[in-house]
Amino acid sequence: MDRICYALISTLLLFTAVGCRTWSTSSSELLPSQNEQVADTTSPRSFNRKRVILDIEFINSVPHGSPASEDSAFSPSLWQWVDETCLAPSLRQNMLRNGIRVGLVNNEEEFRNQLNHHKEDRDLVETFLAEASIASDLAHGTQSMPMRLGRRYELPLRQPFEGSHVAMIRDGDEVIGKTMQNAQYILALTSSRGKTPEQIDLTLHPEIQHGDMVRKWVSSDTALRIDSRREAWQLECLNLQLNAHEGDLIVMAPTQPLRGLAKHMLSGTGEDNQLEQLILLIRVTQIPTLIEEL
């Protein structure tokens, strides 16, 4: 009897050891694969080659004197290096009614020279405050945005307004207004394949998010998850779709004089309590080939 019990105990210990060995081996094989996946996200030749990459640059400018002067970043001479005909005439007019100009830069060297002409020297403290965006309403600095084709990404243009905010938009001859709480101006972006593999259709969706966070159940092909987001007023009459190649530079800026929706969307108070205006630059840095996308 003792021999039978001993044999049973020995067999049980043997299976336990094999089980532990299998679990340990499985874990050690999983961790390297996870590390390799994390490393891939920073490798331009692997993970990121499957993504559209946009380089975003926010330029905060303080207008001085006459907005149309040659010393202004918003002077008319800046726009001679921008092709605004990439937008349909009706859409371009609607954007102008709301105080917004958009186009593709056709001579970046001259455009940059004009853009940098207005900049003043700042001391170290002012530079630090600007880069840290301390007490500044507007977005600042630069960032890189890897994008999956067809997926939506959001780009906040400024800090939320505290309390009640009234926004008005012109849609043709019609004026539409809305009162919102803690409103924040957002530029949503999606990309899709263009007419040729070397092109993408980049869609810009201006919207105003407002109110409290709301939790909703969202289903996908693989799982059911909770999505937390605020309500959004989608400004569909200002939706843009631009056909872009790798290396193209898109500019969005307020009109001069400042008017319409751009007074809130592309303007705010800077770190030194001066009125600033925002110029948004979007460079299409990378478009994946059809093979790389697989």
Cα 150 to Cα 23: distance, rounded to the nearest angstrom: 39
Q: How far is CA 249 from the centre of its chain?
A: 15
Indicate whether 19 belongs to any domain: no
In a domain, 294, yes or no: no
pLDDT at res. 220: 65
pLDDT (tens, 9 = 90+) of the chain, 294 residues, equals 555 555 555 554 444 444 443 333 333 333 233 333 333 444 444 557 889 999 999 998 887 654 444 445 566 788 999 999 999 999 999 999 999 999 999 999 999 998 886 555 444 544 565 555 456 789 989 999 999 999 999 999 999 999 999 999 999 999 999 999 999 999 999 999 999 989 999 999 999 999 988 877 777 667 777 777 889 999 999 999 999 999 999 999 999 899 999 999 999 988 778 889 999 999 999 999 887 766
Name the nearest CA neighbour of 138 among 4, 293, 272: 272
**Number of folded domains in the chain?**
1
Is residue 16 in a domain?
no
Tokens of 26: 């499985």
Q: Which domain holds residue 209?
A: 48-289
Residue 275 counted as domain residue: yes
pLDDT value at residue 23: 35
Is 193 a domain residue? yes
**CB-CB contact of 55 with 250 (8 Å):** no
User: Residue 133 has what pLDDT?
Assistant: 47
* Cβ neighbourhood burial of 69 (10 Å; 0-12, 13-18, 19+): middle
Cα→Cα distances 271→77, 103, 135, 262, 289, Å: 28, 29, 5, 20, 42
Residue 34 lies in a domain: no
pLDDT at 282: 98
Instruction: Give domain status of residue 255, yes or no.
Output: yes
Asked, for residue 74, whether it belongs to a domain, the answer is: yes
